[in-house]
Amino acid sequence: MSLKLFAPLLASTVMMSSAALADEGMWTFDNFPIAAVNKEYGTQIDQAWLDHVRGAAVRLSTGCSASVVTGQALVLTNNHCVAGCAQDLSSKGHDFFQEGYIAHSRAEERKCGGMQAEILTAISDVTAQMQAAGQGQTGEALVKARTAASSAIEKQACGDDEKFRCQVVDLYHGGQFKLYKYRKYSDVRLVFSPGFKAAFFGGDPDNFNFPRYDLDSAFVRLYENGKPVSTPDHLKWNASAPTAGEPVFIAGNPGGTDRQLTIAQLETQRDLQIPMTLVQYAELRGRLTRFGAESPEHERIAQDLLFGLENSYKVYFGRLFALNGGDLLSQKQAQEAALRLKVPQLNLGAEFGDPWATIAGAQDDLAALYLPYRFVERGPIGSDLFDYARSLVRAAAERQKPSAERLPGYSDSQLPLLEKEVLDVKPVHAPLEQLLFEFWLSKSREYLTADNPYTKLLLGRDSPEHLATVLAASKLGDAAVRKKLWDGGWAAVQASDDPLIKYVLRIDPEARKLRTEWDNRVDGPISAASEKIAKARFAAFGDTIYPDATFTLRLSYGKIAGWTYNGVTVPPFTYFKGLYERATGKAPFDLDPRWIAAKDKLNSNTVFDISTTNDIIGGNSGSPLINARGEVIGAVFDGNIHSLGGNYGYDPVLNRAVSVSAAAVSEALRKVYHADALADELAGS
């Protein structure tokens, strides 16, 4: 499943270097290695091709990627990228998460609350302005200076035009700063979801594996002023059978990688951050499973959160496995040592110092602050109510300040998306919220201990069980209540008698102090030191390297290919006939009844899922799989088990991306789901 919630398991043969390997790289669109790719694959990629693909690539605020595939703003993505929307649109009698959703007319296309789509229109370099803003500073001063500079740059670039969003992006850990300007669409409506069984056939046993037989695809449409947007710049739909060995490209927004972190940072992940995450996810998963077993309605309202949590647990286990595997850290140590040996010859100046030592020292402060920062500043896992309350309280406080002086996330350029996420209508389920509050508060007391000042801040003299009941009684699940507080600003928030607003108002001063301390002792020093290391990398390797992923638009290249491991060769395609051979009638290998009914109508030799050598990571979910002609032939939804090391490096021998084919989608739309109007629209694109 889901590259949206993604972290890695590393094959022991993983190979990494400071310069990109064949098919390696999540390249920015302004530094794509056109000549090298054309030479290797015999393609004719040029700037016009790149501009066309960029203009059709979509970033979704839900943490996924997508692409425009018709002139009527129809957007292809993954089912798991719209699962939250399907869940929100569901009710006790209509479970669209499980059953799927089909809009047979424009009138039936339903808005996805909180979802925003963005298309990148321009990239410009603002490195000089951003680096000058933080010159000679560290700690909170550096964070504030950079926040103020980015706010001013974004404001100047986008002004008050509500159709655009501007974002200053940190690349190479401070080595470059780019301004990304997006055309945004705040009205995104669900058109088609195939349902859970078809999209995630094979469940957790097949997750991050191949062969796969998943129709993990979905469609949404972009609206403006109540009407579908006209999108002449879109990718042509190609439902022909793909060919093994043909070159393919993936345009999407990989969420984040740690390929350029120092050894000290990776050791902190291994020894502290990931183990803590795994323990918490494992217990919360158990509580959600028990909750779902209490009633069919509890099972329904918890299924989307449990689905994501189970995937994330597998992902973080893989990440820990990678860091404990031996080969990864030894290779990283060799790379780091080699770069450090180059420093004296790079003429970086006396002020360069030893940034690796600075980062190593900051790890002690990170460890000291980690638990209170995790529990107090981050809050409960998965709670919509807490997120609403925190956003309302902080937005009200920050909006009283000039944009450049606000906390990150609350500048004028960032507020519109936050406002949409807070005010869009979405269901909130008090019983589920109570479980999440109780888990958070009980784990806070357990890990921080009962006498810790932060435990007393969170609980006072109350118990986790009782306080969770009080907080879950909040009225913030009502969008009208949230709007009144948002519009009323600080005065309305202070006057509110909502128990959760009052609670967040009480703990927020200390949470802010923690955030300031984190900036001073962790983020600030690491940012300044990382910028120096990036400077050394540029001096040594120039722009032949690509930046770590940052949930911004990237392009990867590769070919359709399987792989061989332990003497077993895995072909690059699966076919419809394999789905029926794999089906057992028992979960998770049981078929959607619609697929059983359609078996004899389907072309059994239709290519279902595809394996390719493209370099991907979480956030690439929903990215279009594109052929050399710029046509979409599928949508990425996963990687194989070996690719889980992608957070730390790329192995060209074993790493594979997994996509559902456009051929499978078209065949299923007509013969399984009887969505002929949608299939006709795609065929005419």
- DSSP notation for 75-133: EEE-HHHHHHHHHHH-BTTB-HHHH-EE-SSGGG-EE-TT--EEEEEEEEE-HHHHHHH
| N residues, the chain | 685
Nearest-angstrom CA–CA distance, 659 and 677:
24
Residue 556 C-beta-side C-alpha neighbours within 13 Å: 34
**pLDDT top residue among 322 and 439:** 439
Provide the 8-state DSSP code for 363. Answer: H
Distance, CA of 458 to CA of 119 (rounded, Å): 41
pLDDT above 70 for 318? yes
Q: Of the ranges 18-22, 321-325, 679-683, which is most confident?
A: 679-683
Single-letter residue type at 121: T
In the prediction, which pLDDT does 4 show?
37
Amino acid in the structure at residue 261: L
Instruction: Please report, rounded to a whole number, the percentage of residues in the chain having pLDDT higher than 90.
Output: 90
Task: Share the mean pLDDT of the chain.
Answer: 94
Stretch 518-524: mean pLDDT: 96
For 25-39, 182-196, 263-277, 639-653, which range has the lowest pLDDT when averaged over its residues?
Answer: 639-653
Find the mean pLDDT for residues 467-494.
98
> For residue 577, what are its two tokens?
């006939």
Residue 184 has pLDDT above 80, yes or no: yes
CA separation for the pair 488, 490 (Å, rounded): 7
Mean pLDDT of 199-223: 96
What distance, in Å, lies between the first and last C-alpha atoms of the chain?
Answer: 28
Query: In this model, does residue 398 exceed pLDDT 60?
Result: yes
374, pLDDT greater than 80: yes
Q: What is the mean pLDDT of residues 465-479?
A: 98
Q: Which two tokens stand for residue 154?
A: 């974004």
606-631 pLDDT, tens digit each? 999 999 999 999 999 999 999 999 99
DSSP of 140-165, one letter per residue?
HHHHHHHHHHHHHHHHHHHTT-TTEE
According to the model, what pLDDT value does residue 505 have?
98
Q: What is the pLDDT of residue 315?
A: 83
Residue with tokens 């009980």: 442
Euclidean distance between CA atoms 384 and 422, whole angstroms: 9
**What residue type is 279 in one-letter code?**
V
Asked if residue 339 has pLDDT above 50, the reply is yes
Distance separating alpha carbons of residues 77 and 217, to the nearest angstrom: 6
pLDDT at 6 exceeding the cut of 70:
no
Instruction: Please determine, for residue 262, whether its predicted confidence score (pLDDT) is greater than 90.
Output: yes
Lowest mean pLDDT among 13-27, 283-297, 414-428, 641-655: 13-27
pLDDT at 166 over 60: yes
- pLDDT (tens digit per residue) in 221-258: 999 999 999 999 999 999 999 999 999 999 999 999 99
638 close to 645: Cβ distance less than 8 angstroms:
no
**CA separation, residue 378 to residues 387, 444, 551 (Å):** 9, 12, 20
pLDDT of amino acid 20: 55
Q: Which structure tokens are listed for 15?
A: 């190979």
Q: Give the mean pLDDT of 402-426.
A: 95
pLDDT for the residue numbered 21:
58
Token pair of 479 as six digits: 């969008």
Domain limits, the chain: 27-116+186-251+547-683
CATH number for the domain formed by residue range(s) 27-116+186-251+547-683: 2.40.10.120
